[in-house]
């Protein structure tokens, strides 16, 4: 952490979090715009995953905040991101092992390095994903991204048609698989409305992790809604008070839309 940022954060009161004595079981799944409402059985499976993620994320954040040091809390957020990524990748592999249709779906996927048409649209992420990616950008020496000046502005994490934070890309990106790269290109290069196909079942799996993260934040009294990645990075990298204010339960991020489903 740079000296200037450390000085600015030194006067910030960082909270100690405590696990609530009681929490209501999750009954609604947060589904970002795109895949629609999952089948009921799929939604219930994702809710079960969300409860596990909710508990793990909450435990990590409570421990990370115990010292009152921003470095420890950021370390906890990094741990949360790495752990959820591993769990999600394992779940994807398990789904393909158990379902021949899912295996066939993935064999048809045409996503490849250098194919970055989907890296030019708004991306909805959890606050924890945004914070983790902002720290990655800060360590790499990047400042706030420029405001989008075109309809399909590139993601601030994109360089030479590749993601500079690929290993920690958010669930919205990690769960997006297209079987038709030409349709992706047409949707990007033409003004006409183009149907761009993508696999729904990986995105439904991702909803469990997204829902769990947001539920854990709500349990701790933190603002717990989806945020747009570009806007969140601009805020976190441009305003050193944004993270401490959010940690002290201010709702600093603009809200994004999502649907809820059982």
What ranges do the domains of the chain cover? 41-256
Nearest to 252 by CA among 236, 221, 123: 236
One-character DSSP codes across 140-179: TT--PPPPP-STTPPPTTEETTEETTGGG--HHHHT---S
Q: Could you tell me the CA-to-CA distances from 139 to 5, 106, 132, 165, 209 in Å, in that order?
A: 12, 34, 11, 12, 26
Query: DSSP secondary-structure letter at 196?
Result: -
End-to-end C-alpha distance for the chain, whole angstroms: 42
* Stated pTM of the model: 0.91
What integer pLDDT is reported at residue 249 of this predicted model?
A: 93
Q: Which two tokens stand for residue 251?
A: 């709702």
Nearest to 115 by CA among 167, 185, 186: 185
Residue ranges in the chain modelled with pLDDT below 70: 1-13, 148-150, 257-262
Q: Maximum CA pair distance of the chain? A: 56
Alpha helices for the chain (secondary structure H)? 3-10, 40-65, 70-98, 100-107, 127-139, 171-174, 181-189, 200-219, 229-238, 242-247
């Amino acid at each position: 952490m740079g000296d200037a940022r450390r000085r600015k954060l030194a006067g910030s009161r960082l909270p100690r979090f405590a696990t609530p004595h009681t929490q209501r079981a999750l009954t609604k799944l947060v589904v970002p715009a795109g895949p629609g409402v999952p089948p009921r059985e799929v939604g219930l499976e994702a809710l079960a995953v969300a409860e596990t993620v909710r508990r793990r994320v909450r435990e990590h954040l409570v421990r990370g905040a115990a010292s009152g040091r921003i470095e420890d809390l950021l370390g906890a957020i990094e741990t949360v991101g790495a752990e959820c990524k591993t769990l999600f990748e394992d779940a994807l592999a398990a789904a393909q092992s158990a379902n021949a249709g899912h295996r066939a779906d993935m064999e048809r996927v045409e996503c490849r390095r250098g194919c970055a048409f989907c890296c030019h649209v708004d991306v909805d992420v959890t606050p924890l994903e945004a914070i983790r990616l902002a720290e990655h950008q800060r360590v790499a020496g990047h400042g706030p991204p420029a405001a989008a000046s075109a309809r399909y502005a590139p993601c601030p994490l994109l360089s030479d048609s590749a993601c500079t934070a690929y290993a920690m890309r958010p669930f919205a990106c990690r769960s997006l698989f297209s079987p038709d790269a030409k349709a992706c290109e047409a949707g990007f290069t033409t003004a006409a409305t183009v149907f761009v196909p993508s696999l729904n079942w990986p995105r439904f799996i991702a909803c469990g992790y997204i829902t769990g993260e947001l539920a854990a934040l709500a349990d701790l009294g933190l603002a717990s809604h989806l945020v747009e990645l570009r806007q969140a990075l601009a805020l976190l990298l441009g305003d050193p008070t944004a993270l401490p204010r959010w940690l002290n339960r201010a709702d600093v991020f603009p809200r994004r839309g999502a649907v809820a489903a059982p």
